Amino acid sequence: MQLCAAFVFIACCAGICGAIRCYSCESTTDSHCADKFAPDGITIIYYCTHCSKGKGKTGTIQYVERGCESDYSSSNACHYSSVNGIDVNICYCNTDLCNSGLRVAARFAIGVIPLTLFLRSL
């Protein structure tokens, strides 16, 4: 049973261990980058440690930015901050092309469940 749990854990976390690819775009210059994301033609950056998706709104204009982070060392998480008076939500994830979806932080749960099962089996 422990061998099976270890295999599941390694298989689920294989994409987390190395460098990953991330989408990189801004919705102000590419409409495909908005929340209704269309990856066709979007730049992909290689050798990232984390991907990011930032989202803010000023008036009626929503801004979305997706990118590659090489120096971000924290776990998968979302942070709220204010940039130039605009409230911004920035989420980080660490699996291949994980900054494509609406709920980047939800991918964190995909890694936590196998880890929890693995640790409980020991």
Each residue's pLDDT expressed in tens, for the chain with a length of 122 residues: 454 444 434 444 444 456 999 999 999 999 999 989 999 999 999 999 999 999 998 888 899 999 998 876 666 889 898 878 888 999 999 999 999 975 544 444 444 445 444 445 56
Q: Which amino acid is at 122?
A: L
Which region holds residue 65: left if phi is over 0, alpha if psi is between -120 and 50, else beta? Answer: beta
Distance (Å, rounded) from C-alpha 121 to C-alpha 110? Answer: 18
β-pair partners for 26 = 65
Work out the number of other CB atoms within 10 angstroms of the CB of residue 5.
16
Task: Find out whether 61 and 31 touch, Cβ atoms under 8 Å.
Answer: no
Give the residue from 33, 72, 65, 24 showing the smallest Cα distance to 50: 72
CATH number of residue 87's parent domain: 2.10.60.10
Statement: the pTM of the whole predicted model exceeds 0.75: no
Domain total of the chain: 1
The residue segments making up the domain with residue 84 are: 2-121
